[in-house]
Amino acid sequence: MIGVCYPKGFKACGVIAGFRQRPDFALVVSDKICNIAGVFTTNAFKAAPVLDDMKKVKEGKAQVLVINSGTANACTGSQGDRDVLDTCNYASKILNIPSSLILTASTGVIGRLLEMDKMYHGIDLGAKALGYDQGEIASRAIMTTDTVNKTCEKSLNIQGKEVKIGGMCKGSGMICPDMATTLCFITTDAEISSELLQKALSDNIELSFNSLTVDGDMSTNDTALCLANGLSGVKIEEDTETYKLFNNALCEILQSLAKKMAKDGEGATKYVEITVKGAKNYQDAKAVAKTVANSALCKTAIFGEDPNWGRVLCATGRSGAYVEPKLCNLWFEDVKIVERGEPLKVSPKIAHETMSGKEFHITIDLGLGDGEATIFTCDLSYEYVKINAEYTT
């Protein structure tokens, strides 16, 4: 069992509703009503499904996810809100589950109305295709410009019983930290209150999806939802060893999915990690790492395997973080390039070689304090421009 179908009691499906000529519609249905948690985009233009989900997450219960790719139902005015309502009502009728327990998520072109005949067709087909072994196709049906599907599973042994967490996500452009990024769905058979699940999700989002950037653009649709149906029979309570285990496993799942997103960044040829340490505090460390990760000049240099490290310090210096140039140290992989603000004599050939792999790590030590943060990102290639110059037309 893969992804969202990995924990007990979760069915899923992926079908072709007609938004695209490939799987473009997914359902996730739990056998039992779930306690739920969610984090959403902070963009002022929140998509219609995001606004509806936010209300339902406050109630803390759900049983169904309805997800389409191809159209984002964002910036669609009042018709967009009506379309979400109609989607939930129709799914409720077909699945025989109250509309209040149905969450929706959309991804694709912004500003285009949802074609409701296709949504209804997807629900009709999807209801028939639901299965405990359909997690893989569900993860494919939520892709847009993604080139690979992204799932993750983890099993925990707690007091002799097995607790499972599974997840899937999509997204490779319009990705930047500040909230759960694009679409991420986590299922678990742990028994956990929606309040505690929300705490675990919110705490771990910061170190995973909010530490990820592809292009600095935060979407209107960013959604991470977590559903817990309790079918493992293992109860997770606050301030216990059990919670720690669960929380760590959830963090691993979210980080693993976030890294998969960076690796599949639009047009990416390299996975890149930027680690900043020695900052005055965590916020400063993250500001520096994020500024380097979003710098078009750093990203294109990494694509070209050009050891133009001055661009990294330049981005560091404009990050808004407190920086003392004469205390800064910089490494490309394990080769030290700058020591206490002075460039070391590193041959261009050796510096270039640090960049030639499929993964590339930059470490910046500001020499000031204990603040440390890591950002997951990728390079910027011709292909990114091509993908985004030709997206809707």
Q: Name the residues annotated as catalytic.
A: 181
Question: Closest CB to its own copies among 76 and 223?
Answer: 76
Considering only CA atoms, give the Rg of the chain. 22
Tell me the closest approach of the beta carbon of residue 39 to its own copies, in angstroms. Answer: 15
Tell me the closest approach of the beta carbon of residue 215 to its own copies, in angstroms. Answer: 5
The reply to whether 173 sits near its own copies by the rule CB under 8 A is: yes
Tell me the closest approach of the beta carbon of residue 113 to its own copies, in angstroms. Answer: 8
- What is residue 219's DSSP assignment? P
- DSSP assignment of 165-191: EEEEEE-SSS--SSSS-SEEEEEE--B
Site string for its own copies, 249-288 (x = CB under 8 A): ----------------------------------------
For its own copies, the binding residue among 14, 49, 307, 371 (CB under 8 A) is: 307
**Strand 359-365 versus strand 335-339 pairing type:** unpaired
Question: Cα dist. 105→70, 179, 197, 273 in Å?
Answer: 11, 15, 20, 29
The reply to whether 147 sits near its own copies by the rule CB under 8 A is: no
For its own copies, the binding residue among 1, 33, 94, 109 (CB under 8 A) is: 109
Nearest to 227 by CA among 201, 261, 258: 201
Q: H or E stretch including 103?
A: strand 102-109
Tell me the closest approach of the beta carbon of residue 104 to its own copies, in angstroms. Answer: 18
For its own copies, the binding residue among 239, 241, 334, 342 (CB under 8 A) is: 342
Written as six digits, the tokens of 64 are 């169904």
For its own copies, the binding residue among 215, 264, 273, 365 (CB under 8 A) is: 215
Site string for its own copies, 66-85 (x = CB under 8 A): ------x-xxxxxx------
The reply to whether 369 sits near its own copies by the rule CB under 8 A is: no
Among positions 21-60, residues that touch its own copies (CB under 8 A) are 41-46
Distance CA 198, CA 60 (A): 9
Contact in structure between 267 and 386 (CB atoms under 8 Å): yes
Nearest to 373 by CA among 290, 312, 257, 265: 290
Written as six digits, the tokens of 331 are 């490494």
Distance CA 268, CA 44 (A): 28
For its own copies, the binding residue among 61, 82, 235, 352 (CB under 8 A) is: 352
The reply to whether 105 sits near its own copies by the rule CB under 8 A is: no
Distance CA 184, CA 221 (A): 11
- DSSP assignment of 40-93: E---SS--HHHHHHHHHHHHTEEEEEEEEEEE---S-HHHHHHHHHHHHHHHHH
Written as six digits, the tokens of 102 are 């149905």
Among positions 318-337, residues that touch its own copies (CB under 8 A) are 318, 323-325
Instruction: Choose the stretch contacting its own copies; rule: CB under 8 A; options: 124-132, 245-253, 255-263, 341-349.
Output: 341-349
Question: Residues touching its own copies: how many (CB under 8 A)?
Answer: 70
Contact in structure between 259 and 371 (CB atoms under 8 Å): no
For its own copies, the binding residue among 162, 256, 308, 372 (CB under 8 A) is: 308
Which residues form the interface with its own copies (CB under 8 A)? 41-46, 72, 74-79, 109-113, 173-174, 176, 178, 215-220, 294-297, 300-301, 303-311, 313-318, 323-325, 338, 341-343, 348, 352, 380-382, 384-386, 388-393
